[in-house]
Amino acid sequence: MELKKNISIWWGPPKDFNPKQDKRRVSWLELFYDLVYVIAIARITHHLSHNMSFEGFTENICLFSLIFWGWLNGSLHHDLHGNQGLRTRLMMLWQMMIIAALSIAINKTHENYTLVTIIFMIMQLYITYQWWSVGLYDKSHRKYSWPYTTLFLIAFCLMGISLSVSHYWLRLLFPLVLICNYIPPFIAHKLLLRSSQRLDLSSSMFERLGLFTIIIFGELVLGVVNGIGEIETLTFTSWINFAIGISAVFSLWWIFFTFVSSREVKKGLARASLLEILYIPTLIALGFIAAALPAFLAENDFTYNLQQILGFGIAVFLFCIFLIMELLEYPEVFDTLKKPMRFSLLVTSILFFLLSLVQLDISVTWYLALTVFILSVEITYLNYKYYRKLIKEGIDPSEV
């Protein structure tokens, strides 16, 4: 009996489901888990940079949506049920192995997605098992996890069907896979309400979303470095482009984390899930920018298409921040600031979208300078409104 108890402690069954989660720090295991996703994101971004076409962008959206789904569910499962036991560590390890295998397969597709699909099916089945297995230890969790296990298994079957159908049917099957994978939290939200319970996005999980965003920003920095690095003879102009390119990336980072960092998500699993879904186009837009930067800065293929991609990517990114802000809670001092700040983001987003439609006959340097100028004007306006309000109210910025 004592041996069985010791083994149970050593194995570490998943934590029981508890809607009221205690605040905690992000663990080293979670950071290590994120590391393998750095590799996967780098792979699909690199793959896109060598296939800047409609098919390439469509492929990138599909790959990213499923990779992000895998990261999100693995992270949420750990956030809700993870502990220091062996089981938790092995569960994370096995998913890391799946994503690492996917990273190998991505560059070996050559229009044959069989291997990638099989690996995604393994991940799909594994994540389904993760949610289902919690019910073996905590029976109260079963009534909330059935939407996950049922719909995830349907998505698994659809992936299997996709192996034997034409590309035409893939266009219909893939949206169904995404719906099955992303709709369960909204059903679980209804089930929780029936039980008079509410599950909110924890501060640690919201922090994880920020860390995942940093991974994508790292790809933008790498895009600048790779683009300048491809130039055989570095000139003064090359270094100017390097400085302005990094400044543009930093400006996008500034705008995003000014609005998102140190905030809380509005209450309820439905809002939390909607926020997580909004992160998908936000991060895909950054990925498009990262993929376009090397060729753009190297000036090997400086075409109108690259201007379009950069302008459209920034426009979508800013518009997504505009939408995300509606799902976040801000201090009372923001009550009169939130509307004009969101409006300014919307205007800037529209401006970049319009720029993507106009063929500007200017050099790389001037296009980058124009981009940084517009972003700097937006940042200056946001900071002016923010600090003016704080000074007027006599509030210490560190308190908000």
Task: Check whether 25 has a pLDDT greater than 50.
Answer: yes
Looking at residue 3, its pLDDT comes to 45
In the three-class reduction of DSSP (H, G, I as helix; E, B as strand; rest coil), residue 299 is classed as coil
| Per-residue DSSP letter, 141 | G
- Contacts for 362 with CB less than 8 Å, ≥ 6 apart: 370
Cβ–Cβ < 8 Å for 32, 75: no
**Which residues are bridge partners to 329 per DSSP?**
264
The pLDDT of 323-347, averaged and rounded, is 89
Pairwise CA distance, residues 343 & 352, whole Å: 14
Looking at residue 320, its pLDDT comes to 96
The pLDDT of 5-21, averaged and rounded, is 57
Residue 144, CB-side half-sphere exposure with 13 Å CA sphere: 23
Integer CA distances (angstroms), 348 to 51, 308, 380, in order: 29, 16, 13
The pLDDT of 9-22, averaged and rounded, is 60
Q: Say what the pTM is.
A: 0.91
Amino acid occupying residue 243 = A
How sure is the predictor about 344, in pLDDT bands with cuts at 50, 70 and 90? very high
The 10s digit of each residue's pLDDT in 210-267 is 999 999 999 999 999 999 998 888 889 999 999 999 999 999 999 999 888 778 888 8
Q: How large is the greatest C-alpha to C-alpha distance in the chain, in angstroms?
A: 79
| Per-residue DSSP letter, 265 | E
How sure is the predictor about 391, in pLDDT bands with cuts at 50, 70 and 90? confident
Cβ–Cβ < 8 Å for 319, 325: no
Pairwise CA distance, residues 184 & 162, whole Å: 22
The 10s digit of each residue's pLDDT in 286-295 is 999 999 999 8
* Domain range summary for the chain, segments of one domain joined by +: 24-194, 203-399
- The percent of the chain in helix, strand and coil, each rounded to the nearest 5, is 80, 0, 20
Query: To the nearest whole percent, how much of the chain has pLDDT over 70?
Result: 91
Indicate if the alpha-carbon torsion angle 89, 91, 92, 94 is positive or negative. positive
Task: Check whether 300 has a pLDDT greater than 60.
Answer: no
Query: To the nearest whole percent, how much of the chain has pLDDT over 90?
Result: 52
Lowest mean per-residue pLDDT among 83-87, 177-181, 230-234, 378-382: 83-87
Task: Check whether 279 has a pLDDT greater than 70.
Answer: yes
Pairwise CA distance, residues 34 & 324, whole Å: 23
Task: Using DSSP bridges, classify how beta strands 328-329 and 264-265 pair: parallel, antiparallel or unpaired.
Answer: antiparallel
CA distance between the termini of the chain: 53
- Contacts for 111 with CB less than 8 Å, ≥ 6 apart: none
What does pLDDT average to over the chain? 87
How sure is the predictor about 20, in pLDDT bands with cuts at 50, 70 and 90? low
Cβ–Cβ < 8 Å for 13, 135: no
Lowest mean per-residue pLDDT among 60-69, 97-106, 258-267: 258-267
Pairwise CA distance, residues 44 & 20, whole Å: 37
**Which residues are bridge partners to 265 per DSSP?**
328
Looking at residue 215, its pLDDT comes to 93
- Contacts for 250 with CB less than 8 Å, ≥ 6 apart: none
Pairwise CA distance, residues 97 & 338, whole Å: 43
The 10s digit of each residue's pLDDT in 148-186 is 999 999 999 999 999 888 777 888 899 999 999 999 999
- Tracing tokens 């996008």 back to the chain, one arrives at 252
- Tracing tokens 């006959």 back to the chain, one arrives at 361
